[in-house]
Amino acid sequence: MSCCLYQIYSLGSGNRQLYQDADRSRGTLIGGLRGMGLLKSQISIDPESAPFKLNPHSDPLEVENEWLRWRDQEQERRVVWASFEYDCSLSTLTGCRAAVDLAELPRALPCAEDLWRAPSGQTWRSLASHLGPSAFGIPVTATLEPIMSGSKALPSGLSSWGKRLCCQVIGRLLWDLKQLEVISLTRVLRQPSLSLVQEQAKNGLLKGFDNISNEIKLPTSPVEVIDYK
């Protein structure tokens, strides 16, 4: 994370060498995540992975081992989402398309912060029982659906980071639409124009972006206040 922050600083330093190094570092980071299998394309017809469920055992050692296994899995997911947000930040600062494809992202957002910060297996288990299944990570589709429809009932437990990530996903879709407008070859290939469809899609995405932005501006906890600032 400190490396990512340094690279973002480098882009605004005015030093051309640091600017170029930041872009190379992004390529190294994303390539490394793909090589580790953390970033991999997920076909839309693949079955959704089952949400995490607590095992019924109550043995302290088993609970601790389950918590450690879950932490390893969750850490990988959080690394992917953090890298995606970093990639989006560099894309905004450089005006170049982001390197991470949306199809490579996890299908669920990061878990609730309270769950992630649990200091022990027993605390984690108690929190999980109290917070419910959504605390382990809300599916991205279940989050974007009410955002795009303008519904006020966003999934309960959606963190400020989750809201910000939804903004980044919508921003990526808007970027892809912009690219289609710029490099459109429909006239050259004598194909029907897609401009009307693109305009409708863009308006819908902008509406969704406004909806989630309004939610981010209404912090309900100290963590969300810090994130908003």
* 32 occurs within a structural domain: yes
Domain closes at, from 120, 137, 154 = 137
Q: What is the mean pLDDT of residues 181-190?
A: 60
46, part of any domain: no
pLDDT digits (tens, 9 = 90+) for 144-159: 998 888 776 788 888 8
What average pLDDT does the structure give for the chain? 81
Sign (positive/negative) of CA torsion 121, 124, 126, 132? negative
45 is a domain residue: no
> Nearest-CA neighbor of 106 among 154, 60, 134, 140?
140
Q: What is the mean pLDDT of residues 5-33?
A: 78
pTM of the model: 0.83
Closest CA to 79 of 24, 33, 22, 134: 33
In a domain, 155, yes or no: yes
The β-bridge partners of 108 are: 139
pLDDT digits (tens, 9 = 90+) for 51-103: 677 777 778 899 999 999 999 999 999 999 999 998 988 888 788 888 899 99
Residues 82 and 171 in one domain: no
Residues 156, 98 share a domain = no
Same domain, 6 and 77: yes
Q: Is the predicted pLDDT of residue 21 greater than 90, yes or no?
A: no
* Same domain for 205 and 172: yes
Residue 138: count of CB within 10 angstroms of its CB: 24
> Does 50 fall in a domain?
no
Residue range of the domain that includes 117: 1-40+62-137
What's the domain count of the chain? 2
Q: Which of 100, 121, 137 is the last residue of a domain?
A: 137
- 118 & 159 share domain: no
Selection from 8-17, 64-73, 193-202 with the highest mean pLDDT: 64-73
Q: Final residue of a domain: which of 137, 157, 186?
A: 137
Q: Is 123 in the same domain as 143?
A: no
Residue tagged 């690219």 (tokens): 179
Based on the fold, state whether residues 78 and 121 are members of the same structural domain: yes
Same domain, 173 and 112: no
Same domain, 219 and 182: yes
What is the reported pLDDT for 150? 77
- Is residue 157 within 8 Å of 112, Cβ to Cβ? yes
Q: Confidence class of residue 48 from pLDDT cuts 50, 70 and 90?
A: low
